[in-house]
C-alpha cells in the first residue's frame, strides 16, 4: 500500500496496551529515593500548594530527611532476588500475563510503565510506537478515580504524545470501582484468604490510600468511589456495616485527610476489646510499600501494642487469576471497535 507520489509502504498498524502503575524507586539508598520522591512530590496533582510555598519545604526538610526514612521502609520489603520493589515485580508479572492472553494476536503489543520512576511512561510509549502501534490503550491500574492517581497518569501519557509529530490515537481505561468483575474478584480473594487463617476476624478493615480532604471538597470523586466499592463488596459478601469498615491511610503533612484514619481505627479497635482483625487494600492493584510495610508491618504493630491479638493482611489482587481476570475484562471491553 502506498500514499502519494513519494509514498512508501505502510506497515500494518498495531495496538499497544500499556498498564500503568504509580511508581517505584530504583533502589533503597538515599539518591534513588531522593530522585523518586522529588518526582512524586513535585507533581502538582499530588501537592496542590503553590510552587513558591511548597518547593522550599520540599527541597528543604522533606528531601533532606524523607529519603532515608522511606528507604529504610522499602528495604523491609525489597525484592532482593530481582533488586527491585514488589510493585515493579508484580506489575511486570501483570504485563507478562496479559501479553500471554493476546499472544495469538499479532496486532496487539502489551507493555507496562510507571507514572513515577522506571520504566517511565514516555519510554514505553516510545517503544510501542517504534513497534508500529498507531493506537494505544492505556490502563491506569487504579480502581477508584482520583486526580492524584488516574488523572496524573493520563497527564504523563499526554505529555509524551505532545512531543510526537506523528502521535498515536489513544484511549484510557476508566475507573472500575463498581465493575462486577472487580467486586467479584475482591470477594473471592477475601473469602479464600480468611479460610487460611486460624482465627475469624471480628472486623475487616478496607483501607484505601487517603487524599487531603480539601481535594475531595473541591470535587475529587475518590471518596465516593471508595465507599461505593465497599457497599457493593459488603452486599456481595452478605456482611454487615460493622463487619467491614472503610478507612484511609498514608496521610502526609499537617492538613486534614479523608477519615477515618486507618492507624487510629486499628488502635481504637484494639483498645475497645477487638482481638482479631484483617485488613484489605481494595484501592491498590498490586502490593507495594503502602500495603506490605504500612499495613502488614506498621498497622499490625499498632494493633498488637494496643492489646489486639490476631492480625492479618489480605493480599492485593496482584497477578492472581482473579486479578488478571479483572485486567483482561477491562482491556477487552475498551479494545472494542479497535479489534
For 128-168, what is each residue's pLDDT tens digit?
999 999 999 999 999 999 999 999 999 999 999 999 999 99
H or E segment at 206?
A: strand 203-209
Q: Judge contact between 338 and 30, C-beta under 8 A.
A: no
Mean pLDDT of 172-179: 98
- CB-count burial class (<10 Å; 0-12, 13-18, 19+) for 165: exposed
pLDDT at 317: 98
Query: Residue 7 — very low, low, confident or very high, per pLDDT cuts 50/70/90?
Result: low
Query: Does the pLDDT at position 3 exceed 70?
Result: no
277 sits in which H/E element: strand 276-280
Average pLDDT, the chain: 96
Say what the pLDDT of residue 4 is: 52
pLDDT tens sequence across 238-254: 999 999 999 999 999 88
Do the bridges between strand 133-140 and strand 169-172 make them parallel or antiparallel, or are there none, so unpaired? parallel
For residue 262, pLDDT beyond 70 = yes
The domains located in the chain, with CATH, are: 14-174+322-334 (3.40.50.1400), 180-314 (3.40.50.1400)
Average pLDDT over residues 314-326: 98
Secondary structure (DSSP) of 132-195? TEEEEEEEE--SS--IIIIIHHHHHHHHHHHT-SSPPEEEEPPP-TT-HHHHHHHHHHHHHHHH
The pLDDT value recorded for residue 253 is: 85
pLDDT band at 328 (very low <50, low <70, confident <90, very high): very high
pLDDT for the residue 148: 98
Residue 6 has pLDDT above 70, yes or no: no
Amino acid at each position: 500500500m502506498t500514499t502519494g507520489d513519494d509514498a512508501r509502504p505502510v506497515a500494518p498498524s498495531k495496538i499497544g496496551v500499556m498498564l500503568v502503575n504509580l511508581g517505584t524507586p530504583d533502589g533503597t539508598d538515599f539518591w534513588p529515593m531522593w530522585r523518586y520522591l522529588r518526582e512524586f512530590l513535585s507533581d502538582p496533582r499530588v501537592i496542590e500548594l503553590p510552587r513558591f510555598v511548597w518547593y522550599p519545604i520540599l527541597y528543604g526538610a522533606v528531601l533532606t530527611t524523607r529519603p532515608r526514612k522511606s528507604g529504610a521502609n522499602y528495604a523491609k520489603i525489597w525484592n532482593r532476588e530481582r533488586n527491585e520493589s514488589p510493585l515493579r515485580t508484580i506489575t511486570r508479572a501483570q504485563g507478562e500475563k496479559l501479553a500471554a492472553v493476546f499472544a495469538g494476536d499479532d496486532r496487539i503489543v502489551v507493555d507496562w510503565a510507571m507514572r513515577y520512576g522506571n520504566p517511565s511512561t514516555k519510554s514505553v510509549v516510545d517503544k510501542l510506537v517504534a513497534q508500529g502501534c498507531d493506537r494505544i490503550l492505556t490502563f491506569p491500574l487504579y480502581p477508584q478515580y482520583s486526580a492524584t492517581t488516574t488523572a496524573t497518569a493520563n497527564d504523563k501519557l499526554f505529555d509524551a504524545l505532545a512531543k510526537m509529530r506523528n502521535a498515536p490515537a489513544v484511549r484510557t481505561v476508566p475507573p472500575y470501582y463498581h465493575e462486577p468483575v472487580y467486586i467479584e474478584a475482591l470477594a473471592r480473594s477475601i473469602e479464600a484468604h480468611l479460610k487460611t487463617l486460624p482465627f475469624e476476624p471480628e472486623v475487616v478493615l478496607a483501607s484505601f490510600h487517603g487524599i487531603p480532604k480539601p481535594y475531595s471538597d473541591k470535587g475529587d470523586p475518590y471518596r465516593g468511589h471508595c465507599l461505593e466499592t465497599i457497599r457493593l463488596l459488603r452486599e456481595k459478601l452478605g456482611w454487615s456495616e460493622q463487619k467491614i469498615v472503610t478507612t484511609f491511610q498514608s496521610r502526609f503533612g499537617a492538613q486534614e485527610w479523608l477519615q477515618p484514619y486507618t492507624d487510629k481505627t486499628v488502635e481504637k479497635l484494639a483498645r475497645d476489646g477487638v482481638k482479631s482483625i484483617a485488613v484489605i487494600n481494595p484501592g491498590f492493584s498490586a502490593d507495594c510499600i503502602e500495603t506490605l510495610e504500612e499495613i502488614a508491618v506498621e498497622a499490625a504493630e499498632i494493633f498488637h501494642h494496643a492489646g489486639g491479638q490476631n492480625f492479618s493482611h489480605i493480599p492485593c489482587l496482584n497477578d492472581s487469576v482473579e486479578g488478571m481476570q479483572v485486567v483482561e475484562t477491562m482491556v477487552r471491553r475498551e479494545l472494542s471497535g479497535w479489534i
